[in-house]
A and B are shown apart, each in its own frame.
Chain A
């Protein structure tokens, strides 16, 4: 979607390797989120950020870490990838904590851990 890009779009990696996914926004929004989407589970929150260097855990944060050193970039790292982390990962941004505008989502990263 315009204003938010995720990279890479697809990745295949081996079990035990570290992986970093990148979310980049040009909207200057304060809030950024990482979700994973799996069949039967909808979207589940991994981590979120409410400002530069300000992050917190979501409901499925085990095995993931994040960093936000600049407003525009939010990185998600799988410290040691496992097959259970095979999923589609979505980044989202919102303008404020008042979710009146909803989220804008990136196009997703399909990650396969073999």
Chain B
């Protein structure tokens, strides 16, 4: 059974702190790992990683994938209150009948206090 596990499940920090969110996975026929940010409504896409060791960056957010150890991290530097959200990790599979289905982790609830 495919499994995606995120840690921690919740995190409270103060503005300016740096946070690291973790995502480990066990899936057959791995294709890609995706990160989403969810505020009040729909999740919004942050990153997709397919290659090991290549960092993706967008402003204060960055992510890297380790396909050997089967995990990814999402870093947020100089956190702001607007970073408060649920961060979701998802894994996509290759080929067969996967049809682009994603398996999601439980999510990490990040709260940033002023």
List A residues at the B interface (Cβ < 8 Å). Answer: 1, 31, 33, 35, 40-45, 48, 50, 56, 58, 90, 94, 96-100, 102-108
Question: Judging by beta carbons under 8 Å apart, are B48 and A48 in contact?
Answer: no
User: Given contacts A42-B106, A102-B48, are A97 and B43 in contact (CB under 8 A)?
Assistant: no
Q: How far is the CA of A42 from the CA of B2 in the complex (A)?
A: 14
Which one of B31, B88, B92, B106 contacts A40 once the chains associate, using CB atoms below 8 Å? B106
Interface magnitude class on chain B: 20 to 34
Interface majority SS on B: helix, strand, loop or mixed? strand
User: Given contacts A100-B32, A107-B41, are A42 and B101 in contact (CB under 8 A)?
Assistant: no
List B residues at the A interface (Cβ < 8 Å). Answer: 4, 6, 9, 31-32, 34, 36, 41-45, 48, 88, 90, 92, 97-107
In the bound complex, residues from chain A placing their C-beta under 8 Å from that of B103 are: 45
| Nearest B residue (CB) for A45 | B101
Question: Judging by beta carbons under 8 Å apart, are B99 and A50 in contact?
Answer: yes
Question: Judging by beta carbons under 8 Å apart, are B42 and A31 in contact?
Answer: no
| Nearest B residue (CB) for A49 | B99
Which 6 pairs from chain A and chain B are nearest by CB?
Answer: A105-B42, A99-B92, A43-B104, A42-B104, A97-B100, A42-B106
